[in-house]
Structure 1
Amino acid sequence: MSDQPSSSGQGAQTASNRPGDSPGARPSPGAIATSSVPYLLMRRLRAPLMTLITIYAISVGGFTLIAGVDESGAATPPMSFFHAFYFVSYTATTIGFGELPGAFSNAQRMWATVVIYLSVTGWTYTLLTLLSMFQDRNFLRAIAAIRFERRVARISEPFYLVLGCGDTGQRLARVFDRMATRFVVVEKSAARLEELDLEDFRTDMLALNGDASEPQALIRAGLRHPMCRGALALTNDDDANLAVVTAARLLNPSLPVIARTHSVETAALMQSFGKSLVINPFEAFAEHLMLAMRAPGCYRLFDWLTAPQDSALGKEHEPPRGAWIVCGYGRFGRAVADRLAAEGIKVRIVDPSPLMVSHSEVITGDGTESAVLELAEVRSAEGLVVGTEHDLRNLAIASLAQSMNPKLFTVLRQNDAANGVLFRNFRADLVMRPSEIVADECVARLTSPLMLRFLNTVRRERDAWADEVIHQLRKRSGARTPTTWSVRLDDEQAPAVVERIAGLDRPLTMGDLLREPDDRHGRIEALALLVLRGGRETLLPNDDFALDAGDEILFAGRGRARRHMAITLNNPRVLHYLCTGREPPR
């Protein structure tokens, strides 16, 4: 998907240098620092306030110079400064208490008339200026920045920074929301933030309208917050994502960072900062395609476990090993063509620009022209990859190619999530959606490291093994994507288990954990996929597998199975019943 260079929410960018900034540091364009609110207020109200002060000074001064008159008509001294200021104050605010401290002379009344018109004009000017200021975008940004920083500072639970809210960021935000995980968004485009506001999130979403490549925006969003658990650089700008990795490593070295990139060179720079995890969706998809070609069953299992919740088990894809055509030799086309060529498969490349590619035949032209596809020998080809940056062009090329060779195994690149309905209704064997690849990889890395280990194992196994895993999972969760979760047998996540292991002569087994809490002869609808003990992996442990404190276990099954297992893990009385078949003594 084509994400815009981004960063996120309702707030403000950085506006002025902070203590410790270099003297020549340039404020962010259009950014408003929190400390600038009083400055903005005084700057916009400077002229109205000066006008009011001048009107008040002239009005009060006039009354201190104009003589009054008593009841007999004799002249009296002018008002004192206090009485003059008092009269002007209640007159200018249209309260009106009459002529105080005594009746006015005609000259004083004439001056009072002038004061009334002057003060009403001055206050009207001031109030209109104040109202216009509350419609000023920069002032509203500054106010929003204050509120945003205060809300971030009050976060008391773990959260993640989602830096860039294009298709990938929005998908990840929805996933975090389903998981009831807090997140803070930084997005450069106000339009994308407005789209995000329309989402019906269950959790409290905080968003900052700022540039993620700027360190102050990251700090404001909570990069140094003690509850921040990770930063996800998901913009479509490799330079911005590199800036995020750099800032995170220097400002919070222990914070996990996952960055998206489309460039091998940028990936190398990111990894030079140490622990950063880099995701290249084009390279990742090319690996998936090769997995489908080498072991279709393993790819089917991999695709099912990484699919969105409640997705149906897809059919088995087996890409052919005959000649392939790659239309569009950009970042995606190059990644796929290189992998196909490395497998010894003949590749013909179609691209409008002249290319020098050693391992493939190149046809210069537009894939939307049948003559060009004829030159690429589309009628004898077995596979087609269409990977330009324009969705409608990709659909047009694939449609023309399929009309010339209906048996083509077709791989399409979908750039924009908004075009999903078009791609779902097109007959393509595989669709590469970068936003899904990146978002799913981010979730797996951050929330289920054991799942990553298991998926890496899937890539190395044989089809027969994968088919058996699918069979076992379908027995427990049906044909829909199973829920996956991991458990560590420690005092925090499984206190009842740890207590029983410490006091048992007989080992506690995997089968004990998989019993129904209210009927030990029944089984919960879950399958143990992996046990990690001391760095050693055990795949698909059987019911007799003996558990030990500190084990990390990956399960897959129905959501209710996870809830039932939570009862077993935390209730010693239930676990005693499951292990012995007897109720524990009171």
Structure 2
Amino acid sequence: GQDNEGNVWRMSFFHAFYFVSFMGSTIGFGEIPYEFTDQQRFWALFAIYGTVIAWLYGIGTTLNVLGDPVFKRLMTENSFARRVKRLSEPFYIICGYGDTGSLLTRRLAAEGIRVVILDQNPDTTTELETTEFRQQPYGLIADASRLRSLRLAGLESPLCQGVIALTDHDQTNLTIAAAVHLINPRIRLIAKAESQEAELNIASFGKNITVNPFRLFAEDMQYLIHRRGMYTLLSWLTGIPDERLAEPKFPQQGAWILCGYDNFGRSIHEKLNEQTTLTVITPKEEDLIYLENSVKGVGVRADALEAANIRSACGIIAGTANDADNLSIILTAREITKTRKNPLYVIARQNQRFHSSIFDEAEIDFILQRGDRVARRIFALLRSPLVSEFLNHACSHNDDWALRVVSRLAGVLDDAVPHLWEFTLNDCEAKAITKQLNRHRSIKLQDIMRSPRDRHQTLGCLPLLLIRDTHPYLMPNAEQRLKPYDRLLFCGNAQAKHAQPWLMQDDAVLHYILTGQENNRSYIGRWLSQYWENRQARKS
């Protein structure tokens, strides 16, 4: 280098080391207010390396902590717990986001119902973040059978309305049911159970509701083949509101073949064997001992189908746990019976939702989709708890009764799956009606089915169930007089669902419905009307 006078000056190793140190460490300070002496520079070196090393170590340690999976999980859990605590509306906890859980979440979100999800699949949160929902659900990657996970999801919150256990393992669902009963026994619990033992265990304590997909399928098959009116009624009441009503395709009467004899096959056999000629194809020797009509083999082989008299059967149920085998059974059976005048009625069990496009291409008459069937039943139960009670009582009636109900429903529906709603005649849910009933005013069931805009018009709805003093009345008469604390289940279109609460809560609207006179809504007018009513009451 050069000094101030332009003379050549060579930097010593010490000064070069000093310069590189404070520049390489990005400190780059100036020596102010005067240049440092060599002793000052020597101590500056200690300060530079001491602070830089500490700084690098601190940054490295922080990055390691931020990248640690345990720390990430704790941060995610804390953020999730804060979001759940900030909820101000009622919500449900869904444990398991498989086929059933995802379908149920979409349907609840479409109804504006908040959902909190616990699932162990790491892809769950990604799917929730990339899917558009009307009411965005909250999700956490966690083991739902752990009590800490349930507490983080808001199990102890007063806004938690219930827990739905939909994992793929019955034992896990049983553990969840036990934890919910111990921590918050007031809320509802609905659990999926694929075995009879799990059903009995879960239902043995509390007021738990179990949903067995195989039992639902078996009931569907029984109604489809032998009770067409009941099948139509149940499919309408457990469908997705406002979807177009599909006209079911019913099979002819005759002999049937069942391929597969696991839990699904046993449930089907139990429901159909007494009323139907049913031949079971199974490869297990031990199953043949207990089955009256059976063939040893597998349904994918033509010889097994021939031995089961496929040519004379009216239908076949491909019910194995393997989708490829079920499709193979269908194709083989159709190949054998392709020359028949009456085509073979085909029922297929679909185990995986992502195979839907293949099953749709196969033109199957009736597809049993486990996730969809369970989601529809649970959705109906959550929309209205009285639905379960109505279905239980309805199934005890004959098919003629079901056909009459279907005929009445068809008269008020617009070719769309109906809405279901319920209410109790109390101060909270029906303030205006309760006030009139307490004054001994006579109100009939048909009165609350009138349109608030024109009392001469009837709303598009039908009463399905009336509960009075724990006694159920199915399809109550329109002339039935109402009493305080009656519980009512209605079925109808969306317009009726939104209009009926109006007349039940608004005094002026109810006054118009009962008398045909429009009540004065001004303060003075209401005061005078109230004064006149009280005066008339004292005279009487």
Q: One fold, TM greater than 0.5?
A: yes
Matched, 1:348 2:284: no
> Alignment partner for residue 478 of structure 1, among 403, 414, 428?
414
Q: Do the aligned partners of residues 405 and 515 (structure 1) sit closer, same or farther apart at CA in structure 2, a change above 3 Å counting?
A: same
Q: Do the aligned partners of residues 271 and 504 (structure 1) sit closer, same or farther apart at CA in structure 2, a change above 3 Å counting?
A: closer
TM-score (norm 2): 0.85
The within-5 A match list for 1:321-336 is 321-336=253-268
Matched, 1:559 2:490: no
- Tell me which residue corresponds to 1:59: none
Contact 1:337/1:347, CA 8 A, preserved across alignment: yes
Q: Which secondary structure state, in structure 2, belongs to the residue aligned with residue 522 of structure 1?
A: coil
Can you list the C-alpha shifts for 1:453-479, whole angstroms capped at 9, x where unaligned?
Answer: 222233222333323322222222222
Q: Which secondary structure state, in structure 2, belongs to the residue aligned with residue 460 of structure 1?
A: coil
Structure 1 gaps, min length 5: 1-87
The within-5 A match list for 1:449-468 is 449-468=385-404
- Tell me which residue corresponds to 2:197: 265
- Tell me which residue corresponds to 2:465: 530
Can you list the C-alpha shifts for 1:258-307, whole angstroms capped at 9, x where unaligned?
Answer: 11111112222223334322211101221222123332111111111111
Matched, 1:96 2:29: yes
> Alignment partner for residue 503 of structure 1, among 439, 446, 450?
439
The within-5 A match list for 1:147-226 is 147-226=79-158
Distance apart, 1:413 and its partner CA: 0.9
Distance apart, 1:559 and its partner CA: 0.5
Contact 1:300/1:317, CA 8 A, preserved across alignment: no
Can you list the C-alpha shifts for 1:217-258, whole angstroms capped at 9, x where unaligned?
Answer: 222222222222211110011111111112222222333221
Aligned residues: 496
Distance apart, 1:514 and its partner CA: 1.5
Matched, 1:444 2:380: yes
Distance apart, 1:167 and its partner CA: 0.8
Matched, 1:411 2:347: yes
Q: Do the aligned partners of residues 325 and 568 (structure 1) sit closer, same or farther apart at CA in structure 2, a change above 3 Å counting?
A: same
- Tell me which residue corresponds to 1:136: 68
Contact 1:262/1:282, CA 8 A, preserved across alignment: yes
Contact 2:165/2:190, CA 8 A, preserved across alignment: yes
Contact 1:387/1:413, CA 8 A, preserved across alignment: yes
Q: Do the aligned partners of residues 511 and 91 (structure 1) sit closer, same or farther apart at CA in structure 2, a change above 3 Å counting?
A: same
Q: Do the aligned partners of residues 458 and 402 (structure 1) sit closer, same or farther apart at CA in structure 2, a change above 3 Å counting?
A: farther
Structure 2 gaps, min length 5: 1-20, 526-540
Contact 2:162/2:188, CA 8 A, preserved across alignment: yes
Q: Do the aligned partners of residues 269 and 562 (structure 1) sit closer, same or farther apart at CA in structure 2, a change above 3 Å counting?
A: closer
Amino acid in the other structure paired with 1:242? L
Higher relative contact order (CA closer than 8 Å, sequence separation 6+): 1
Amino acid in the other structure paired with 1:493? E
TM-score (norm 1): 0.79
Distance apart, 1:173 and its partner CA: 0.9
What is the distance in 2 between the residues matched to 1:452 and 1:108? Answer: 86
> Alignment partner for residue 292 of structure 1, among 224, 229, 241?
224
What is the distance in 1 between the residues matched to 2:362 and 2:419? Answer: 29
Can you list the C-alpha shifts for 1:301-360, whole angstroms capped at 9, x where unaligned?
Answer: 11111112223333345445533221121111121122222x153332223443433123
Contact 1:297/1:316, CA 8 A, preserved across alignment: no
Matched, 1:427 2:358: no
Amino acid in the other structure paired with 2:468? R
What is the distance in 2 between the residues matched to 1:316 and 1:130? Answer: 63
What is the distance in 2 between the residues matched to 1:344 and 1:521? Answer: 48
Contact 2:124/2:141, CA 8 A, preserved across alignment: no
Q: Which secondary structure state, in structure 1, belongs to the residue aligned with residue 362 of structure 2?
A: coil
Amino acid in the other structure paired with 1:579? L
The within-5 A match list for 1:7-46 is none
- Tell me which residue corresponds to 1:385: 317
What is the distance in 1 between the residues matched to 2:142 and 2:105? Answer: 17
Q: Do the aligned partners of residues 198 and 353 (structure 1) sit closer, same or farther apart at CA in structure 2, a change above 3 Å counting?
A: farther
Contact 1:91/1:116, CA 8 A, preserved across alignment: no
What is the distance in 1 between the residues matched to 2:295 and 2:53? Answer: 76
